[in-house]
Amino acid sequence: MTGGTLLWQGGERQRLAAHGKTATASFRVVKNTTYTYEVSDSMGQVAKSPGPSAVQALGDEPPTIELQRPTGMISLTPLDELTFEATVSDDFGIEGADLVFRRETKPDAPQERLPLTISKNEAGRQTVRLLPQFENLQPAVEPEDVLTWHLEVRDGKQQRAVTEMGILALRHFEVWSTERWELEEHEPEREPPDLAPFLTAAWGIHIRKPVLPQQEFERQTEQLAEQRINPDTAKVWQFVKAERAVTQQQADFINNHARQGHDALKAHDTAKALEELRVAGAQVVALKLAENLAERFSLAGGTGFGTADNAVAREQARLASLEQQAPQAQQSAQQLLESINAAEEAKELADKVAELEKQETKLVGSATRLAEDKRTRQPNVSKGDERAWAGDQRRVAEAARKTVADAKRQTDQTDAALNKATEGLVRAAQRMQEAAKDMQAGRADQATREATVAREELAAVREQLTGASQDQFADVLNEAERRAQRLTDQQQEVRDRTEDLAKDATGRERQYEAVAADQAAVKRELASLERAIGTLERVAGEGNVKRETAAHVEEAQQDMRRSRIEQRVTNAAVELSMRNARGAEPEQDKALQAPKRVLDKVRHANDSLASDAASELRRAKAEAQRAKEQLSQLNPKAAAKLQGKPPTDARSVQGQRRAELAEDTAMTLTQMKRHIEAVTGRIMTINCPGDIHCGWVNQWFSPEKTIQSIKMGVNIMWCPRQQVTQALKVFTHPVLPRTRRGGRCRKQAASRPTDPSPRRPPQAVRKPRRHLVRTQTPAAQEAGKVRRRQGGGEAVRRAVQVRAGQRLVAWALSVCLPTVSVGPVNPGPPAAT
């Protein structure tokens, strides 16, 4: 090569530099354009490009960031270690990420930054981390300092994304204190809300200000300001009162700054509002006035309590240890976020396809007219119109290809629905190109047929994406409903056990510990529900769901905030740790009513999402498939036999996971029942079919038949969900339920074994035990032998009851799951197909 030239669209020329057998040039991409080239060699020969080549300028989207840890308010000493971690992504790569913090307790403190470690600077998702050395900061941090912080990420264009704001409190190495807590004799008229949620909400609105429409930004600030008004007095809440260690001057300082923050919100000045609320919030933390008891005692630390009077603090520290032992939620916030992101991506892609479909519909109409003109007039009359139509068709085809490229770059490549949609778009673009060639060659009729097929492809893709988006939103709503139901059930069970302790607590120290641990687990479940509702509220606020659905979600979120469930649960847990069951009961009653209201609102939102028969059937089918997978985990061997597969060695899940999976299965079936009822208009019966033996194996249940019955619209026999949940709680009845063949499902009442009456013959007491030994596993048989040798024993009796309870769970799951009846009970409208 001796060199060459690039000829750009518009006439600009650029030299190609020769390097042996190649010629190269570099240029900056700023817009879509085309170019041709020519090169020459040492023999004077010149070669030109066969046609123009295209350069497509891709938009540089801002980065995204998702905080992994830490979350909530943090308390530590200056020498403690704390890792900050976030997941970031950008379409071209991350240039930098920082921990941004400010010392709110220092007057006029500047904003400080610490860089985070980036694993790799390339496109896609990656993790950034930082383990800061707080003791090495200059000036050094001191105990009682309060820092507000967030993480920030930047791309090559200096576009940035930030996380939510967090609060970090520095405490002393040891704290010696004495505090006494007493229950109030009467409930105050209305409690003021926490200040921290207002600060977080104001931060969220402030960082979204550049992307929010002005009208929506003003609406959100006014709505947040309205929430800070006491409905009883129509004035701004007084967050702190002068009491105990708080002077009137300190209370006025906090309340004045909070009021100024409220005034700034009303004036739509979020920057000013943040400044005022940060000052007030930092002073609240510094004075250890956090409403949440867990936060309050974490500020004092878990060690170093130096007086015997500080029993509450010791019990709270032990409660924190119990909380760490509570099981984690099955589905993480990351999975919920991925479902929401997939739904938003599908909806965005569906909107783009709908616009392409609209343009293609116009082209089909004009192609039909051109074909008619060609048949009725001279062949060359519409030649210019045909060329113009072909050019328009190529532009729509190019837009379809660009949509495919954007979808592959921005969406999850493992999503089957999105992959299928992009394949349909590719086929539509190919049809458009064929239509343009046919029209250019004068074959108007053939071009019309090709364009019509392309339009039908686009319509199919749009419908598929719309359905996928609804399904993803439905999955998140289903998860929120399951969590709300699980929270309600757990709190109800803890409440019942607390009531039992309140009647007689003599010698039941271990039971107090168990109930306190379960109350801590309720708090973890509450955090999972709050994350799910918060995710739904964000999506609803962006207008990505129906207005009716968004209204129900917003009501659920408002109820969560107003009810202060976490405060009630924490208070109850502290009382239980202090062996005060009667003091825990009022708090538990309040903590129980709020989740029930939230569950109703989430259920209304879930039901409002599907607006037609096709949507209802699609959701019911998806729920039937989910139930099939859950049942396969509960009994893999029965599932393999049912599906005609070879025997499997997989073991069914056991213990706490089995109980949770059984509850989830029951909830899935309940949701499926609601959607089927909405389509068929028929009432589900609660009887077992006559040809099903009510035994304790579940080999008769067929998920395939259930899915088939949904398609046919036939009636499904149903046993109530309460029977399953009751069976999960029965661990005290030692005898399996028995019914005759062809009978109806019978609820087996749970009864606590009592000491035999002296008047009853001994044989009447021993007989059920012999029956239990014959029907139990070898381990249970051994437990029965030990029990007979020792004449009883609480530990052995409990082991036998657990075995019986596990078999009763299996019996309830087998009997109380849907089975197919071949015809509808009552004639109804034709089933949707």
What's the CA angle centered on 154, arms 153 and 157, to 5 degrees?
A: 165
Dump pLDDT digits (tens) for 324-363: 444 444 444 445 555 555 666 667 777 788 888 888 888 8
Q: Does residue 321 or residue 265 have the better pLDDT?
A: 265
Nearest to 237 by CA among 247, 248, 246, 226: 226
Q: What percentage of the chain has pLDDT greater than the value 70?
A: 57
Reported for 50-55, long-range contacts at CB under 8 A and 24+ positions apart, including other chains, are: 52/9, 55/29
Q: Could you read off the pLDDT of 397-407 as tens digits, one per residue?
A: 888 888 888 77
DSSP secondary structure letters along 494-516: HHHHHHHHHH--TT-HHHHHHHH
Distance CA 538, CA 755 (A): 56
Compute the distance between CA of residue 594 and CA of residue 129 in angstroms, rounded to an integer.
38
Distance CA 641, CA 631 (A): 13
Place of tokens 């867990």: 294
Q: How confident is the model at residue 267 (pLDDT cuts 50, 70, 90)?
A: confident
Give, for 817, the enclosing helix (H) or strand (E): none
Inter-axis angle of helices 762-775 and 778-790, to 10 degrees?
A: 150
Q: Which two tokens stand for residue 660?
A: 């949770």
pLDDT, tens digit, 9 for 90 and up, residues 208-252: 777 778 888 888 888 888 777 777 677 776 766 655 556 677 777
pLDDT at 707: 37
The correct answer on CATH 2.60.40.650 for the domain covering 60-173 is: yes
Amino acid, single-letter form, for residue 561: R
* CA atoms lying within 13 Å on the CB side of residue 154: 11
Residue 144, number of CB atoms within 10 A of its CB: 15
> What is the reported pTM?
0.37
The first and second tokens of residue 700, run together, are 């008769």
Instruction: Output the CA–CA distances (angstroms, integers) from residue 249 to 183, 241, 245, 254, 255, in the order listed.
Output: 27, 10, 11, 9, 10
For strands 33-40 and 3-8, give the pairing. Answer: antiparallel
- Cα atoms in the 13 Å half-sphere on the side-chain side of 67: 18
Note the pLDDT of residue 37.
92
Reported confidence tier of residue 512, pLDDT bands at 50, 70, 90: confident
Mean of the per-residue pLDDT values for the chain? 67
Which residue would you say has higher pLDDT here, 482 or 179?
482
End-to-end CA distance of the chain: 67
Tens of pLDDT, residue by residue over 731-765, are: 223 333 333 333 333 333 333 344 433 444 334 33
